[in-house]
Amino acid sequence: MTRRRLISFIHMPANAQDDPREYGIWSILAGFCVLVLLMLAGWHFGAPYVISLLDDGALVERERENTRLRDQMQALHELDGTLESQISTLSERAADISKIVHGTDAANPAAAVDSASSRTSVEWSESPDAAARRIGGRIDRLLTEARAELASLQSIEAKSREDEAYWRGIPIVSPVRGPVSRSFGSSRNLLSDDQRVHGGLDIAANRDEPVRATAYGVVSRTGVNASLGRYVDITHQNGYVTRYGHLSEVLVDRGKRVKRGEVIGLVGMTGKTSGYHIHYEIHHEGRILDPSTSFFPDQGL
């Protein structure tokens, strides 16, 4: 009598001529256990080799990443040094320009030099992220300082242009070279006891010597006057007007723009005069000024 199994599986072949096969539950469990044991044995002996392969690949990749980060850190460090050196030079130039324009310091180059001397090299002991943050922070600070220095230089440039335009329109030189034959101010006639006011400066010069404009401006009037003879008036910026009298010849037309030092006429003795000289006047906003106080000794023509 055949012993019947409590639980069994019957495999029916696709070919009807083949006999069906019956498998008991215990044989299936035994086969499964053998399979698990084989898998565990394979993992035990093969896992270290697989892990070593994976670790070697990851190690190589990490080494490549570290090399790339070191190169980036070095490039950032070099950029840091270049920026600091350029900003130090910029600060020194700003200070020099400020001394010329304002007579004061606009920047402190010593601070920039101290800052440059305190620059540190890349610390390889710190993590790449920490080094990047440190150098990035320094570069941000340097860029902020560069913007401040640039704004300072732009302010100095604007101020210098304003000063240049201002001084161009102020008469600060003599129209001719020569001694003063009659000064500015009032004088008393000893015979008639009459007081006369001389509103300009008479400067003796040779006949037909060039007479030059004493500042940038526009010729506002030319003509002949009974007292001044042939004369030229030039209107300048900042409310100044200059007048040149007793000319033998006028060489500019009304409306012409002239520069300081440009020839506008020739010395003569037209009008009421007893010798060759130039009568020179300075008016500022309707007031007559003493021209001798406007001559800068080192401003020769």
For the question of whether the overall pTM of this predicted structure is more than 0.75, the answer is no
Rounded to 10 degrees, the C-alpha dihedral 127/129/133/135 comes to 60
Round to whole Å and give the CA distance between 58 and 157: 58
Tell me which CATH homologous superfamily contains domain 180-294: Glucose Permease (Domain IIA) (2.70.70.10)
Q: How confident is the model at residue 179 (pLDDT cuts 50, 70, 90)?
A: very high
Q: What would the pLDDT profile of 88-145 be if each residue is shown by its tens digit?
A: 776 776 666 666 555 544 444 444 444 444 444 445 556 666 766 777 777 777 777 7
> 296: how many CB neighbours lie within 10 A of its CB?
9
H-helix or E-strand spanning residue 204: strand 201-204
Question: Of 21-35, 169-183, 227-241, which range is least confident?
Answer: 21-35
Give Cα 40 distance to the centre of its chain.
73
Could you state, in order of their start, the residue ranges of all structural domains in the chain? 1-168, 180-294
